[in-house]
Amino acid sequence: MPELPEVETVRRQLEPRLVGRTLVAYAVRDARWTEPRSPNEVVAPLVGRRIEGFHRRGKYLIWEAEDELFLLIHLRMTGNLLYDAPEGTLYTRAHFGFDDGHDLRFVDPRRFGTGWLLAGQSELDAYLDARLGVEPFSDGFTAEHLRRLARGSRAPIKAFLLDQKRIAGIGNIYADEALFRSRIHPLRQAGRVTTAQWELLRDAVVDALSAGIDARGASIDDFRDLDGARGSFQDRFLIHRRADDGCLECGGPIRKILAAGRGTYVCEHCQPRPRGARIVPMTR
């Protein structure tokens, strides 16, 4: 699933190409993309309006049109936005044409991606605030804020990191990478992470996400950038998907276990297992 770095990669590519352009035509070929609204309700109001910006909040890409109309695009598991992709591109769910002759396609094999229209900054803020927690690159993303959020929680720290209502934008890949960088076992209870560990984890989250953005995202399965190119962060993983290669720090084994319902990679030498933690191993 595309996470914060992958969405930010696409946002940075869209901005110079489409800001100032005007939507002149569209075709939504899969009504599921805008459910429960009809495609015309969601996209038609954007026709004839100039694009004023592309923003990101968590894993949401926000297309801002004039008069404060906002199209929220979520890639979900397998969605991609492709610029000037060939006619007949498979799994095209929505197609947008602009006044300069270029076009944009939303391509999604599994059909989980969504598009949603909001009117006005206050409506946008209310929608996002109800669904998303603190942004990792914001001033509010501090160790103390995270510690307060986790106070008393018995949930594994991996689940805490994946909870979008607490922290916006982190998914399975970057949670594994951040926990390894901070030497915290993914099954440690969030409420038992120490103040010193929160300091390390806060910085590790920012470092892992920044590295992902620098590499233009990770392309394990479906993610491609605006031009259809793969990201390269998968070549820089410190722990995720490295069960066959061993730990880069200690040389010991990396295990794949179940944590927060997700396949999770851990080196239990570098990330000591908390007392009483029940390990559920997973096959590759």
CA-based torsion, 165, 5, 1, 142: positive or negative = negative
pLDDT, residue 222, reads: 86
Q: How do residues 201-229 score in pLDDT, each as one tens digit?
A: 999 999 999 999 999 999 988 899 999 99
CATH number of the domain bearing residue 226 = 1.10.8.50
pLDDT band (50, 70, 90) for residue 1: confident
In the chain the first and final C-alpha atoms are separated, in Å, by: 18
Backbone angles phi, psi at 123, to 5 degrees: -65, -40
* Domain match, 261 and 201 both: yes
Instruction: Say whether both 52 and 171 belong to one domain.
Output: no
Q: Is residue 138 part of a domain?
A: no
Token pair of 136 as six digits: 């990792």
272 has catalytic annotation? no
Please tell me the predicted confidence (pLDDT) of residue 238.
Answer: 97
234 within 8 A of 265, measured Cβ to Cβ: no
Answer yes or no: is 271 within a domain.
no
The CA distance from 115 to 39, in Å, is 9
> Does the annotation list 236 as a binding residue?
no
Give yes or no: 256 in active site: no
Selecting among 21, 76, 230, 262, the annotated active-site residue is 262
| pLDDT for res 284 | 61
* Mean per-residue pLDDT, 52-76: 98
Q: Exposed e or buried b for every residue in 131-147, given b needs 16+ CB within 10 A?
A: ebbbbbbeeebebebbb
Q: Total structural domains in the chain?
A: 2
Is 253 a known active-site residue?
A: no
pLDDT the model gives residue 117: 98
Cis peptide before 16 (omega within 30 of 0): no
User: Between vectors from CA 195 to CA 193 and to CA 197, what angle results, nearest 5°?
Assistant: 60
| pTM as predicted | 0.96
Beta bridge partners of 207: none
Q: Inter-axis angle of helices 195-214 and 143-150, to 10 degrees?
A: 120
Above 70 in pLDDT, residue 281? yes
Pairing outcome for strands 92-98 and 103-107: antiparallel
85 within domain boundaries: yes
Which one from 11, 56, 57, 59 is the annotated catalytic residue?
Answer: 59
Q: Domain of 178?
A: 143-266
- Assigned token pair, 15: 């901005």
Mean pLDDT score, 151-180? 98
Q: Is 8 annotated as catalytic?
A: no
d(CA 139, CA 249): 31
pLDDT category at 277 given cuts 50, 70, 90 is confident
One domain for residues 112 and 57: yes
CATH assignment of the domain containing 93: 3.20.190.10
CA 193 to CA 147: how far, in whole Å? 8
Looking at the structure, tell me whether residues 101 and 180 fall in a common domain: no
Residue 258's pLDDT band, with cuts at 50, 70 and 90, is: very high
Residues 262-272 have pLDDT tens digits of 999 999 999 99
